[in-house]
Amino acid sequence: MTVSVKQIKILQSHHEMIKKIAQENKELVQDICTKAIEKFVVRRESHQGVYLEYLSSPSEGQYQSYWLDQDSIQYVKKISTIDNTSENRVLYTALFQYLQTHN
């Protein structure tokens, strides 16, 4: 499967949490990102017609690179277009919400 890199601004502590979850589950960080996006897509589709608030990356965050498969990238692009927000906000919000369920 083809993968591409996306950079988003994220708190170092959140980045470390993503890596820790991946390590504990014997998965790649890419797999955790994919799961976060898939869960976000399901949650978003179940709330169609309801306003969703997207988070902006924290100003004190650092840019991190994440490898994403093409399906995940297409989901992010589609949602960002429909909801008129940036791809980075969609990705950051998906990761943030995923981390909230694993805290």
User: Which region holds residue 26: left if phi is over 0, alpha if psi is between -120 and 50, else beta?
Assistant: left
Whether pLDDT at 19 is above 90: yes
- Between CA 61 and CA 66 the distance in angstroms is 15
Every domain of the chain and the residues it spans: 3-101
Q: Quick one: tokens of 12?
A: 């170092």
pTM above 0.85, yes or no: yes
CATH assignment of 3-101, among 3.40.50.300, 1.20.1270.360, 1.10.10.350, 1.10.1220.10: 1.10.1220.10
Lowest mean pLDDT segment, chosen from 15-19, 43-47, 76-80: 43-47
